[in-house]
A and B are shown apart, each in its own frame.
Chain A
């Protein structure tokens, strides 16, 4: 069974802390994505990566960075967490074929106090 896993389901951090959200996929997918999901706003793309060490900004990259050192792992970094980054964070992956269907992890609900 294909799988995308995220390091934490729930996370509570303080303002100003550096936060790492990890995502791992076991499907050998080329593409990986980070979204945030907020009520009334749907899913918004933060960053994506189409290859190891490659990254592209999505719609809302400000305040975030990413790292992809290995094909299966894609990390989202909040350099200095702020309260407006309290959200649900979803990771996804896809291959360059299979009609680009995206597979999602379970999500990390991050609260910044």
Chain B
């Protein structure tokens, strides 16, 4: 079946450090891949997405590239800010009617000044 595995947190970084959060997936066919972010006390917001191999999603300085050969979609940011502290979820959609949407367990990021 389809699955998403992402690195466990928490990840603690100093401001302006480089961020990588690893995400790998297992899926049949050609899934779409997503990163969502959840700030404290809020629901999930879409951060970026990629719908086919070699696509790069980007938003707010975050990037992730859809790597079919390694079945990965790692999230990166060159210089994190305190305001990036949140929980990040990797997810895939294997198409169909939407109920094949699979989330990873989330990675908490804490950025210290």
Chain A contacts for B104, CB-based, 8 A:
42
Also in contact, A50 and B93, with CB within 8 A (given A100-B32, A107-B42)? no
In angstroms, how far is the closest chain A Cβ from the Cβ of B54? 16
Also in contact, A50 and B99, with CB within 8 A (given A100-B93, A101-B49)? yes
Interface check B105, CB cutoff 8 A: yes
In angstroms, how far is the closest chain B Cβ from the Cβ of A56? 6
Do B43 and A99 touch across chains, with their CB atoms under 8 A apart? no
A56–B100 alpha-carbon span in the complex (Å): 12
B-side interface residues, number (CB < 8 Å): 25
Do B43 and A90 touch across chains, with their CB atoms under 8 A apart? yes
Interface check B45, CB cutoff 8 A: yes
Contact of A104 among B43, B49, B93, B95 (CB under 8 A): B43
Q: List 24 A-B contacts (CB under 8 A).
A: A31-B97, A33-B101, A41-B105, A42-B105, A42-B106, A43-B44, A43-B89, A43-B106, A45-B99, A48-B98, A50-B97, A90-B44, A99-B32, A100-B98, A100-B101, A101-B32, A101-B46, A102-B46, A104-B36, A104-B44, A104-B45, A106-B43, A107-B42, A107-B43
- Contact pattern, A 30-71, Cβ under 8 Å of B = 1, otherwise 0: 110100000011110100101000001010000000000000
A62–B41 alpha-carbon span in the complex (Å): 26
A50–B96 alpha-carbon span in the complex (Å): 11
Interface check B51, CB cutoff 8 A: yes
A residues within 8 Å of B by Cβ? 4, 30-31, 33, 40-43, 45, 48, 50, 56, 58, 90, 92, 94-96, 99-107
B residues within 8 Å of A by Cβ? 32, 34, 36, 41-46, 49, 51, 89, 91, 93, 95-101, 103-106
Chain A contacts for B105, CB-based, 8 A:
40-42
Contact of A43 among B93, B100, B103 (CB under 8 A): B103
Do A105 and B103 touch across chains, with their CB atoms under 8 A apart? no
CB-CB nearest in chain B for A108: B43
Do B98 and A56 touch across chains, with their CB atoms under 8 A apart? no
In angstroms, how far is the closest chain B Cβ from the Cβ of A1? 12
A96–B93 alpha-carbon span in the complex (Å): 11
In angstroms, how far is the closest chain B Cβ from the Cβ of A103? 8
